[in-house]
Structure 1
Amino acid sequence: MRRLLASALAASLAWSGPALAEDKMIVSHGYSFYGDLTYPADYTHFSYVNPDAPKGGEIALNVVGTFDSMHPYTRKGRAGALSTIMYESLLGDGTGGDSAPADVYGESYCLLCERIEYPETKDWVIFHMRKEATFSDGSPVTAHDIAFSHNLLLDEGLQSYAEAVRKRIPKVEVIDDHTIKFYFTEGISRRSLIDQVGFVPAWSKKWYEEKGYGLDESRLDVSPGSGPYMIESVDVNRRIVYKRNPDYWGKDLPFNVGRNNFDTIRIEYFGDDTAAFEAFKAGEYTFRNEGDSKKWASGYDFPKVTQGQVVLNELPDGSPPTPAGIVFNLGRDALKDRRVRQAIALAFNFEWTNESLQYGLFKQRVSYTQDTPLMAAGLPEGAELALLQSLGDLVSPDMLTEPALLPHTSAAERLLDRRNARTAMALLDEAGWAVGTDGIRRNAGGEVLKLNFLFNTASSPTLSAVMENFVANVKTLGIDITLEKVDASQYTSRERDRDYDLVYDSYAAFLGTGTGLMQRYGSEAATFSLFNPAGLASPLVDAIIERSLQATSREEEEASLKALDRALRHEFIMIPTWYNPSHWVAYYDQYEHPETIPPYALGELDFWWYNQDKADALRAAGALR
């Protein structure tokens, strides 16, 4: 979703002849649905990178948790961090999952391909691949590998992905070793079709056939990739080291100039965030993207900071914040009642939490498209209002007559806001959950209102404290709720099986439309999609997504996505928590970055670089191990 792309440029002018003009063919070096590409065919590098950035050095990061696999494309096991970094696709992406380019939205550029070709109707697309592209073992990347990867994902990949893609992409044809054609189903939106096939990871067909491996299995043995990095070493649950491939085929492409600058990327694993933070202070790893407000406010007062050896920085983040919060499992009978969900939400006191536990550093998240032009506000009007009115009875009348839903407010002076507690209790009474003489709520059948809140022990102590206080408030309402803390491995397994009533999780923010919206918010995979932890299945949301997919202009698209934000907030599938509009980063003073950070990526693995002189000075001073 982060990369909703769309229609290519009129590089077709480079093609001449009446036959091409008559067939309205488009040939381009990239793809954008509305036909606008910022970078021309002869671009030399992305505007935000340092084209002269030196290569070398190491960046080391931390992960809290465990891993038992280096194969990230399966439900089984827990994959190691950055284990997709070795793989490229026809259209290029950023290192470590960042956007590339990171200064524009809705555009992609050829990487394994050198050009794409498609009719104006977008009924099919042909990718003309670069003949020089190779896997890290030296074997060529061919159209056969792309077709194999596409089909393997359909046969053995995530069910929600496979079902969605099969409906939309019925056929793939290998024309020759370096030319591949994808056909798209008639009568459906052309959104997310060319970019869908353009971002399939390229795996070696030969390697899979020789090994006899499938996709849906946990393993440390992984296929060679064609990307700039490859695995150097793996120490399960302790460390992963990736090294830059000295023979990387694409290092001189304009797409890669000024990027992929580190010789090695090291990942250190820790059992909890406290241990991880102490290791950072000791110099065991060198870059930390901080998410704990308490640590950011009061933890970085150690000597290496005051001496200037560790840099603290708040860098702008132009992407909408991840819609994180306390998610309700809508498959649970008690939680199907919106009044029950509203009552539980009233037990969360953002104002007290932010001031007492988080140093007042966060803002309360309101929207799924927070702080963007797609954020619904006030009453619907104009094109958004017309769209909602056209959906008839699917739209609740209050969505047309009342402002977009905002989170409740609470008094910051005390954890339990008594006014909100009274409102919550009235809602529970109205929903048929009466309080007994023992203070516990039961329904007419005598069933206790009992809830399980699944929580990952690898989370920060601050987040743990926030959720413990929330649960304490829920209990005062007469609800028998348990905060069940489990290790990262159990958490992953149970989350996949949707074995919880509540869970602290997230959805995907969106800046554009695409069929990925259906996988995340739609009904078609609601019972099993890993991207839809609430199990949301709303005819209203489905209808709005379908309208967005049919949009023929940016104005129509923006109106539909405002309506989607309004509808998602109305469905009330989670309790929104907080967000930070900046990147909080701490790092040893041996890294440099462009003066202007692009809006859609921090880029520490992608376009930052290593200063050898500064690194030598740190080591001479004993600041780094």
Structure 2
Amino acid sequence: MFRRNLFAASLATATLPVIGRGARGQSTGAQAPATPTPAAPGAAAASTGAARRTHALSLLGEPKLPADFPHWAWVNPDAPKGGEFVRTALGSFDSFNPFILRGTPAVGITLLFETLLMDSADEASTAYAHLAAVVEVAADNSWAAFELRPEARWHDGRPVTAEDAAWSFATLREKGHPRYRNYWGDIEGATAENERRVVFRFRNPGNRELPLIIGQMPVLPKHWWEGRDFAQPGLELPLGSGPYKVGRFEAGRSMVLQRVPDYWGRDLPTMRGLQNFDTQRFEYYRDATVAFEGFKAGQLDFRQENIARSWATQYDFPAVARGLVKRDELHHEIPAGMQAFIMNLRRPVFADRRTREALGLVFDFEWMNANLFYNSYTRTNSYFANSELASSGVPQGRELEILQPFRDKLPPALFTQAFKLPTTDGSGNNRDNARRALDLLREAGWVIKDRQMVDRNGQPLRFEILLADSTYERVALPYVQSLTRLGVQATVRTVDAAQYQVRTDNFDFDMTIDLFGQSLSPGNEQRDFWGSEAAKQPGSRNTIGISDPVVDALVELVINAPNREELVTRTHALDRVLLWNFFVVPNWYSSTFRIAWWDKFGRPPRNPHYNIGIEGWWIDPAREKALSEARRSPT
């Protein structure tokens, strides 16, 4: 299941289309919510046989909260409304359509749109009724139906209908970002049975997460899009049904979202205590360093710090010393996934597995962690790091049984050796790994000529590392130096966010840094990460370009796992095959969020397990007044 990964080492890259957003949260009200009453077991709908009606879906067991839960357990349901929250965004924007490949959508624009279900930020792989009041799932998992809340309204006052939902599915799959087609590959179609009931039918009933992932679908207004070209980016103010609408904006520079005062969902249990700001203003900066200066100057209210050195050395400015800016480190339980230098397999230079392994051997993480990161990171040793889904040791038992049919297509060492990343003593002396790398390069057909690594035709081993943020140059440049010692000609090029998005969407790069976020329930999104079809589609998440029948087969096994135990085992097998192919040079991860903010906010009593929980913050009038007075007073 797709969940936007928010761990502290995440990259500031292009905005992803709305597929799964985690617990986005929305505004509240005072009246008690109208909660659905699940029908008795055995209720029939859309086809013969028993069906289950429920208020929530979970891939890991039963949802923790009952149908009549009043609000999320971690929020303050009485949080006051009001004030402005000023946030940062990097790069620029030229579109209010976040659902297509073209254009650069404005950060925060997805707050205008609702999904059928809302992911819980406190439970893994669990979502609760939101735009839909009830979800009904066939006993054989061949279909799922969603019954929309009768009070749901677009911002123009018209009701949100099942026809809107069915149209949204068809349009997103046909004209939306290619990721939708990959993610929804096993969904046959959608039908509006009446004004409020939409039914999705599945090609593959064995794909047990389909009801949950289609619940993440944003529902869009069919009537508003009639006469407009959905596939075109643009800055026409969109129509939504969420807690905010666009107030004012300056193209590419800033956007203000205004809370909808008569928002239909303010009393829902998925809303209470959330999205409490009257306005949210997104200010764009071309450079992360300048954005930090803007935060220090009080032009921005909040900052998530992704750079360990900055966290350790740069938060000594006067506002911190005076207590006007607060800092915190929040532990989270999000699987780390894989952040790495990735190699574009579409480039011939990376075709040989031995070459790829050699390039990883000279990446000295221990030296970087000690000298650049203040020993604050852990090396990523799995595509599913920081979770029970990470493989270890050698394959045994059921996992070995799964891998056995592919033995002749896999490296022999996969079956006899535990996968281990190269390590060093952190001194900067990486000679042993460099020798191993040279041996591998020679085996792959490379030779040293005039201190340059070349192939049998005299063509150099040369590639460019593409970056979207100059901050990562301090990691890439030492890596380049290590590669240079091997005779490898590597260069670094940093471009602006818009150019980076265009180039990576079209796979126009040699090597870059990418992040493949994971949840505790991997599934359909794995096709988009590693599938052969996705490798051919511009804009897919298969930026590496993996096109391997063994990986394809294992991805399908993961998607169709019949139970949790089998899912974990099949994911171990997939992880092991990905690791032993050396597609990437793994980076690092952190199990904490580092956050700083100007002291004008109230916060819930705790943060949720799988998110920062910023959507539950509010403006504290007393703190805001005290902050304003302190800013006017001399230091």
Instruction: Give the structure-2-normalised TM-score.
Output: 0.90
- 1:283 shift after superposition: 0.3
- 1:406 shift after superposition: 2.5
Could you tell me which residue of structure 1 aligns to residue 543 of structure 2?
533
- What one-letter code is carried by the residue in structure 2 that aligns with 1:486? V
1:125 is aligned, of 137, 144, 169, to 144
Indicate conservation of the 8 Å contact 1:327/1:506, yes or no. Answer: no
Please give the alpha-carbon distance, in whole angstroms, between the structure 2 residues aligned to 1:513 and 1:325. 19
**CA spacing shift, 1:383–1:181, aligned 2, 3 Å:** same
- What one-letter code is carried by the residue in structure 2 that aligns with 1:150? F
2:89 is aligned, of 63, 73, 76, to 63
- What one-letter code is carried by the residue in structure 1 that aligns with 2:509? Y
- 1:253 shift after superposition: 0.8
Indicate conservation of the 8 Å contact 2:44/2:50, yes or no. Answer: no
**CA spacing shift, 1:20–1:191, aligned 2, 3 Å:** closer
Secondary structure, in 3 states, of the residue corresponding to 1:249?
A: coil
| Structure 1 segments unaligned to the other structure (5+ residues) | 93-99
Please give the alpha-carbon distance, in whole angstroms, between the structure 2 residues aligned to 1:347 and 1:392. 29
- Percent identical pairs in the alignment equals 35
Alignment of 1:375-394 (within 5 A): 375-389=390-404, 391-394=406-409
Could you tell me which residue of structure 1 aligns to residue 611 of structure 2?
601
2:256 is aligned, of 241, 248, 261, to 241
Secondary structure, in 3 states, of the residue corresponding to 1:622?
A: helix
- What one-letter code is carried by the residue in structure 2 that aligns with 1:158? H
Secondary structure, in 3 states, of the residue corresponding to 1:114?
A: strand
- 1:390 shift after superposition: 5.2
Establish whether residue 313 from structure 1 lines up as the match of residue 328 from structure 2. Answer: yes
Larger displacement relative to structure 2 (139-148 or 378-387): 378-387
Secondary structure, in 3 states, of the residue corresponding to 2:102?
A: coil
Could you tell me which residue of structure 2 aligns to residue 427 of structure 1?
440
Please give the alpha-carbon distance, in whole angstroms, between the structure 2 residues aligned to 1:242 and 1:11. 34
Aligned pair count reads 602
Could you tell me which residue of structure 2 aligns to residue 207 of structure 1?
224
- 1:279 shift after superposition: 1.0
Please give the alpha-carbon distance, in whole angstroms, between the structure 2 residues aligned to 1:324 and 1:164. 21
- What one-letter code is carried by the residue in structure 2 that aligns with 1:308? G
- What one-letter code is carried by the residue in structure 2 that aligns with 1:288? R
**CA spacing shift, 1:547–1:162, aligned 2, 3 Å:** closer
Please give the alpha-carbon distance, in whole angstroms, between the structure 2 residues aligned to 1:79 and 1:22. 43
Please give the alpha-carbon distance, in whole angstroms, between the structure 2 residues aligned to 1:202 and 1:297. 43
Could you tell me which residue of structure 2 aligns to residue 87 of structure 1?
113
Alignment deviations for residues 304-343 of structure 1 (CA, whole Å, 9 cap, x no partner): 1111111110111110124111000011112010111111
1:411 is aligned, of 425, 430, 435, to 425
Could you tell me which residue of structure 1 aligns to residue 289 of structure 2?
274
Alignment of 1:523-562 (within 5 A): 523-528=532-537, 529-562=539-572
Establish whether residue 174 from structure 1 lines up as the match of residue 189 from structure 2. Answer: no
Please give the alpha-carbon distance, in whole angstroms, between the structure 1 residues aligned to 2:382 and 2:440. 24
**CA spacing shift, 1:393–1:590, aligned 2, 3 Å:** same
Could you tell me which residue of structure 2 aligns to residue 515 of structure 1?
524
1:351 is aligned, of 366, 369, 388, to 366
**CA spacing shift, 1:434–1:134, aligned 2, 3 Å:** same
Indicate conservation of the 8 Å contact 1:320/1:371, yes or no. Answer: yes
Larger displacement relative to structure 2 (232-241 or 394-403): 394-403
**CA spacing shift, 1:621–1:546, aligned 2, 3 Å:** same
Indicate conservation of the 8 Å contact 1:548/1:557, yes or no. Answer: yes
- What one-letter code is carried by the residue in structure 1 that aligns with 2:317? F
Please give the alpha-carbon distance, in whole angstroms, between the structure 1 residues aligned to 2:322 and 2:135. 52
- 1:583 shift after superposition: 0.4
- 1:223 shift after superposition: 2.4
Secondary structure, in 3 states, of the residue corresponding to 1:621?
A: helix
1:102 is aligned, of 118, 121, 128, to 121
- What one-letter code is carried by the residue in structure 2 that aligns with 1:147? A
- 1:21 shift after superposition: 13
Alignment of 1:444-483 (within 5 A): 444-456=456-468, 458-460=469-471, 463-483=472-492
Please give the alpha-carbon distance, in whole angstroms, between the structure 2 residues aligned to 1:502 and 1:468. 13
Please give the alpha-carbon distance, in whole angstroms, between the structure 1 residues aligned to 2:569 and 2:394. 13
- 1:582 shift after superposition: 0.4
Secondary structure, in 3 states, of the residue corresponding to 1:256?
A: coil
Secondary structure, in 3 states, of the residue corresponding to 2:115?
A: coil
Indicate conservation of the 8 Å contact 1:313/1:584, yes or no. Answer: yes
Alignment deviations for residues 329-388 of structure 1 (CA, whole Å, 9 cap, x no partner): 011112010111111112211111122222222221112222211121222334333333
2:169 is aligned, of 129, 150, 158, to 150
Please give the alpha-carbon distance, in whole angstroms, between the structure 2 residues aligned to 1:619 and 1:115. 46
- What one-letter code is carried by the residue in structure 1 that aligns with 2:607? I
1:139 is aligned, of 158, 182, 196, to 158
Please give the alpha-carbon distance, in whole angstroms, between the structure 2 residues aligned to 1:350 and 1:308. 35
Please give the alpha-carbon distance, in whole angstroms, between the structure 2 residues aligned to 1:34 and 1:526. 30
Across the aligned residues of Structure 1 and Structure 2, the Cα RMSD in angstroms comes to 2.4
Alignment deviations for residues 209-239 of structure 1 (CA, whole Å, 9 cap, x no partner): 1xx2222222111421111111112112321
Establish whether residue 574 from structure 1 lines up as the match of residue 584 from structure 2. Answer: yes
Larger displacement relative to structure 2 (470-479 or 19-28): 19-28
- 1:623 shift after superposition: 6.8
Please give the alpha-carbon distance, in whole angstroms, between the structure 2 residues aligned to 1:412 and 1:337. 29
Indicate conservation of the 8 Å contact 1:309/1:623, yes or no. Answer: no
Larger displacement relative to structure 2 (152-161 or 104-113): 152-161
Please give the alpha-carbon distance, in whole angstroms, between the structure 2 residues aligned to 1:527 and 1:17. 43
Secondary structure, in 3 states, of the residue corresponding to 2:241?
A: coil
Larger displacement relative to structure 2 (304-313 or 25-34): 25-34
Please give the alpha-carbon distance, in whole angstroms, between the structure 2 residues aligned to 1:622 and 1:372. 44
Indicate conservation of the 8 Å contact 2:324/2:627, yes or no. Answer: yes
- 1:501 shift after superposition: 1.0
- What one-letter code is carried by the residue in structure 1 that aligns with 2:352? D
Secondary structure, in 3 states, of the residue corresponding to 1:42?
A: coil
- 1:34 shift after superposition: 6.2
Please give the alpha-carbon distance, in whole angstroms, between the structure 1 residues aligned to 2:61 and 2:522. 15
1:228 is aligned, of 236, 239, 243, to 243
Please give the alpha-carbon distance, in whole angstroms, between the structure 1 residues aligned to 2:230 and 2:399. 43
**CA spacing shift, 1:395–1:346, aligned 2, 3 Å:** closer
Indicate conservation of the 8 Å contact 2:245/2:258, yes or no. Answer: yes
**CA spacing shift, 1:286–1:226, aligned 2, 3 Å:** same
**CA spacing shift, 1:19–1:526, aligned 2, 3 Å:** closer
Indicate conservation of the 8 Å contact 1:142/1:178, yes or no. Answer: yes
Alignment deviations for residues 224-271 of structure 1 (CA, whole Å, 9 cap, x no partner): 111111111211232111121111100001111121222221211112
1:590 is aligned, of 600, 611, 614, to 600
- What one-letter code is carried by the residue in structure 1 that aligns with 2:293? E
Please give the alpha-carbon distance, in whole angstroms, between the structure 2 residues aligned to 1:101 and 1:448. 51
**CA spacing shift, 1:550–1:197, aligned 2, 3 Å:** closer
Could you tell me which residue of structure 2 aligns to residue 96 of structure 1?
none
- What one-letter code is carried by the residue in structure 2 that aligns with 1:607? G
Please give the alpha-carbon distance, in whole angstroms, between the structure 2 residues aligned to 1:541 and 1:11. 43
Could you tell me which residue of structure 1 aligns to residue 269 of structure 2?
254
Please give the alpha-carbon distance, in whole angstroms, between the structure 2 residues aligned to 1:446 and 1:391. 36
1:217 is aligned, of 229, 232, 235, to 232
Indicate conservation of the 8 Å contact 2:123/2:610, yes or no. Answer: yes
- 1:62 shift after superposition: 1.3
| Structure 2 segments unaligned to the other structure (5+ residues) | 4-19, 22-35
Please give the alpha-carbon distance, in whole angstroms, between the structure 1 residues aligned to 2:384 and 2:504. 25
**CA spacing shift, 1:21–1:152, aligned 2, 3 Å:** closer
Could you tell me which residue of structure 2 aligns to residue 44 of structure 1?
70
1:183 is aligned, of 201, 210, 213, to 201
Instruction: Give the structure-1-normalised TM-score.
Output: 0.91
